[in-house]
Amino acid sequence: MDGVHLHEAIYQPETLILTILLHSFSVHVPRIQCHSHCIVNSVLEKNFLSLNTFKMHTAHCFKICVFVFTFLITPRHVENAKILFLIPMSTRSEKHFFEPLILKLASNGHNMTVVTNSPDVLHHENVKEIVPISVEEIYGNVGDIGNVQDLGWDLIFLDMKAYMGPVDKIYTHPDFQPVLNEKYDLIMTNMFFGQAFFGLIYKNQAPFILLHTMALSNYFLKDWGVYFPSSHIPVPLLDFTDRMGFSQRLANFVVDWAVYFHVEMTHIPLYEKAYRKHLGQDIPSVKEIQKNASLMMINTHYLTTYHRPLMPDVIEIGCLHCKNPKPLPQDLEQLLGTAAAPHGFIFISFGTVLKGSTLPESIRNKFLHVFSRLKQKVLWKWESEDMANLPSNVILRKWLPQQDILGHSNLRLFISHGGLLSTQQTIYHGVPVIMFPLFFDQMANARGAEQQGVGLNMNIWNFTETELEHGINKILHETKFKTKAQLLSKVSKDQMNSPLERAVYWTEHVLKYNGAPHLRSAARELNFIQFHSIDVIGFLAGFLIIAALIVVSAVKVVIKYFTVAKDHKDHAKQKKH
């Protein structure tokens, strides 16, 4: 192309627009100037460029503009923050639930200090773990299944005095002292027992997020402007679903308010005494501190913990720990694949808190007798990998990658204790289940799974071999359980974003907006009487009572008036006669 043709090409409309855009970018990006000026000067001064020179300058400018434009529109993380993840009184399963969030925040560049009682090393350069106490020092020998049989009401009305010793030990531990004096950009703490460390949060004056690994009771939400109606939302530790008859609604209502006042009168004073003892008597009450929390993240989803009304500052992150399965280790695949197990396999586990190996021998033998009559192989998480009278089709392992197993195509049935995390994984991976709930919220989880049609609920202390064998065969041969489980699996995954993405987003939202006070409801400023409109109800009741008294008095006066008038009239008639 000769100079005249090139000059004409430069003056085409689209070329002029590109030239102007390039020159505009060059004002802000010096690297573009050297290329754009050559083109612009040629246009303005009507100089001629060679075709190759024109192409070179235009291409360089265009590439740089694309880079700058992409950089400008790409979302970037907030600045790296120092985050304290304060969960020293949690269980091992709670720690496992939070691990994906901790690691993702660390991967985003945040420096994570994790205070925990579970010394599981989180392999990331931005994560520092502090372990001032062990799980056993807090909870004792909770791994023994036999010890939980009669806990029931003791868990609902927990005696918090027994746990103040471990709280004192954490506060005075040498490794915890730097935490007390460090300045953090954000603090995240578990609601359960976390209120005993509110003094630390107050002294730090950093925004804070509250966490909870199960469905919340009303006593946790009383200062947040949230109330769960007891008519259809069961107390988490009761064996109820969201469809209750009158007697269950009555019991749910009474227990809900009884727990509310039990915590208010017994737990809260102990928490306040603990942090004031170690950090100063001038620290405000739990109520005053808690109402300043930025938001709350709870491990709930309507598929497993029923529908509930929530405010914008309460974020559901149910199934945060759920993930797609990976291939099984080779030794397990050789034992459980379709070649080795043509009829599939059954997986049995009682979780990480309770040890399956502590099952009473009589109960264990029931399982073994039934398993020995099955065509399927049985994979059992058993802490000792040693068991008397073990059938040839039963495989024992101390530790197992539970989600990889639940996602295996050859799995036919999961036998579980009904913990919330396992229940969520069961739904996520679409596996039918038989639950043998033992304590805490497991009874409610098992009842819910049965109501949804994904499994059966059985009593581990009172079942027969015939009942177990019938239940296993029912799930293996009636396709409705598998079909419903797979449907709920699709529903649980069909979300705008994953629970992990949601948790990370809102965490960084709080960091970005200095605590995000715009999320808070005005209800946080109301006291108990105002929030429940007791004063309004009292005023209206008083008004109605006074109005009724006035009406009654007026009626009496009118009646008396007419009565007196009638008497006078009758008296006058008598005189005439």
Q: What is the dihedral of CA 423, 216, 257, 353, to 10 degrees?
A: 50
Asked if residue 478 has pLDDT above 60, the reply is yes
Same fold, 82-148+164-228+285-318+521-525 and 330-493: yes
Q: How confident is the model at residue 389 (pLDDT cuts 50, 70, 90)?
A: confident
Q: b vs e for 157-196, b when ≥16 Cβ sit within 10 Å of the residue's Cβ?
A: ebebeebeebbeebbebeebeebeeeebbbbbbbbbbbbb
pLDDT at residue 565, rounded to an integer = 72
13-38 mean pLDDT: 46
Lowest mean pLDDT among 238-242, 330-334, 484-488: 238-242
Question: Could you read off the pLDDT of 178-228 as tens digits, one per residue?
Answer: 999 999 999 999 988 899 999 999 999 999 999 998 888 888 887 777 888
Specify whether the CB–CB gap between 118 and 102 falls below 8 A.
no
Q: Among 109, 210, 122, which Cα is nearest to 503's?
A: 210
564-577 mean pLDDT: 70
Give the max Cα distance, the chain: 142
pLDDT at residue 296, rounded to an integer = 93
The full set of domain ranges for the chain reads 3-73, 82-148+164-228+285-318+521-525, 330-493, 533-577
- Residue identified by tokens 């109301």 is 526
Question: Could you read off the pLDDT of 70-80 as tens digits, one per residue?
Answer: 444 444 456 79
Strand-strand pairing, 394-397 and 377-381: parallel
Question: Could you read off the pLDDT of 340-364 as tens digits, one per residue?
Answer: 999 999 999 988 766 777 788 899 9
Question: Could you read off the pLDDT of 67-117 as tens digits, one per residue?
Answer: 444 444 444 456 799 999 999 998 888 888 999 999 999 999 999 999 999
CA distance 503 to 316: 8
Asked if residue 171 has pLDDT above 80, the reply is yes
Strand-strand pairing, 455-457 and 433-435: parallel
Lowest mean pLDDT among 57-66, 352-361, 379-388, 531-540: 57-66
Would the pTM count as exceeding 0.75? yes
What is the tally of helices (H) and strands (E) in the chain?
26, 13
Q: What angle do CA 120, 124, 125 make, to 5 degrees?
A: 125
CA distance 442 to 233: 16
Q: Pick 419 or 23 by higher pLDDT.
A: 419
CATH number among 3.30.450.40, 3.40.50.2000, 3.40.47.10, 3.40.50.12280, domain 330-493: 3.40.50.2000
Token pair belonging to 572: 């006058």
Q: What is the CATH number of domain 82-148+164-228+285-318+521-525?
A: 3.40.50.2000
Asked if residue 5 has pLDDT above 90, the reply is no
